[in-house]
Amino acid sequence: MKVLGIESSCDECAAAVVADGREILSNVVATQIPFHAAYNGVVPEIASRKHTEWISGVAAGALEQAGLGPGDIDGVAATARPGLLGSLLVGLNFAKAFAWARNIPFIAVDHMLAHLYAPRLVLPLAGPGTPAAAIPPDYPFLGLLVSGGHSIICRVEGFDDITVLGTTVDDAVGEAFDKVSKFYGFGYPGGAVIDQLAGAGDSGAFRFPLPQLGKPSREAPGGDPSHRYDLSYSGLKTAVTAQLEQFRVKPRAKATQPEFGHGMLSEADKADIAASFQKTAVEILLRSLFRAIEDTGLRTVVTGGGVAANTYLRARLAEKKDLRCVFPPLELCGDNGAMIAGLGYQYLARGDRSPLSTTASARVRAFKH
């Protein structure tokens, strides 16, 4: 069964064709980053307008790349939640119209479940020497979903069966990367920029606080169980941005340009801030993740979302030789249509269908907060 997957939840306009939920026949991702970069963040109104302009061309590109015509598609899947409402509606309605016009089944899927599905996909062979596809992890496993909008630690029992164990009580981890980068004027999107800058920095140069969620207290000596796996990024974000003021009042010996202001930090200052922030941001994730591993006994972790591309996070998890950590290939970490088509296939193969009255939702289903 060949499924066309449509993704438009944020700033990537994407479509892909996947055969039998596994083999990627095409994967087209049109990024809107240049249109949002001037604002240092995604502007929802621009995003939905760009999706409207691009969606037909992107879907046509996915069919062409797969060497298929519309008549070869057996089913259509689209992201219905979570995401920017106006953006979601564009892809969702395109997919519904495609399915209606071709008289083929339609299924609406959850974007976060799709990120967890990414490691089950096989990229097209790029030529001789391309490594064989990784063996998909068996259920159950732990999911670490880390993106610009979400930070979720969950227990995954099946493609449509997850239990959220912990999530952020304030900002998402990717959002913290983006906001810190914006504040320091490093560039957009912040995650990749900070990841790169951090490579040359000293991660011990600044000590930023870890959140106190789930910490043992007199009432709960084992820690507050309701927050045991939760995350928080607002304190870190505040501490890192407050450091900019410190550069002015107390210039560092290393600094070559101690004056206050964006762009006035030395290269060493920038790299040290990036590395110290990144280390703490990852530490926050790992602290909760390791608790979940300890409590559940699950030793397989599947990562997903844009932050799963982070070099430091990957290195820290790779150190844990007693864990199986599954990282999707970089092109499947960020938003894409292939993960939507792959997940959609599983529902369609089971006989599930979504009505054409299905609408979009900005929120994650079964979210704790």
Whether 274 and 208 have beta carbons less than 8 Å apart is answered as no
Instruction: Check residue 192 for interaction with ligand KG4 (CB under 6 A).
Output: yes
Applying the rule CB under 6 A, the residues between 8 and 47 that interact with ligand KG4 are: 10
Q: How far apart are CA 93 and CA 14, in angstroms?
A: 14
Please choose, from the candidates 281, 273, 265, the residue with its C-alpha nearest in 3D space to the C-alpha of residue 202. 273
Sites for ligand KG4 among residues 194-213 (CB under 6 A): 195
Who contacts 218 (Cβ-Cβ below 8 Å, separation ≥6)? none
Site for ligand KG4 in 332-351 (CB under 6 A): 334-335
Contact stretch for ligand KG4 (CB under 6 A) within 119-127, 136-144, 185-193, 338-346? 185-193
Minimum distance of ligand KG4 from residue 181's CB (angstroms): 8
Count of chain residues binding ligand KG4 (CB under 6 A): 19
Residues 325-354 touching Zn ion, rule: CB under 5 A, are: 335
Contact stretch for ligand KG4 (CB under 6 A) within 102-110, 212-220, 300-308, 339-347: 300-308
Cβ-based nearer residue to Zn ion, 147 or 232: 147
Residue closer to Zn ion, measured from CB, 41 or 185 = 41
Pick the closer one to Zn ion by CB: 145 or 275.
145
Judged by CB under 6 A, the stretch of 72-80, 200-208, 299-307, 357-365 that binds ligand KG4 is 299-307
Q: Of 177, 229, 247, 345, which one interacts with ligand KG4 (CB under 6 A)? A: 177
Task: Report, in Å, the least distance between residue 321 CB and ligand KG4.
Answer: 23
One character per residue 224-253, x = contact with ligand KG4 (rule: CB under 6 A):
------------------------------
- 178 near ligand KG4, rule: CB under 6 A: yes
Q: Does 171 bind ligand KG4 (CB under 6 A)?
A: no
Instruction: Please state the closest distance from residue 305 (CB atom) to Zn ion, in A.
Output: 5
Residue ranges that bind ligand KG4, judged by CB under 6 A: 10, 147-149, 174, 177-178, 189-192, 195, 305-307, 309-310, 334-335
Residue ranges that bind Zn ion, judged by CB under 5 A: 147, 335
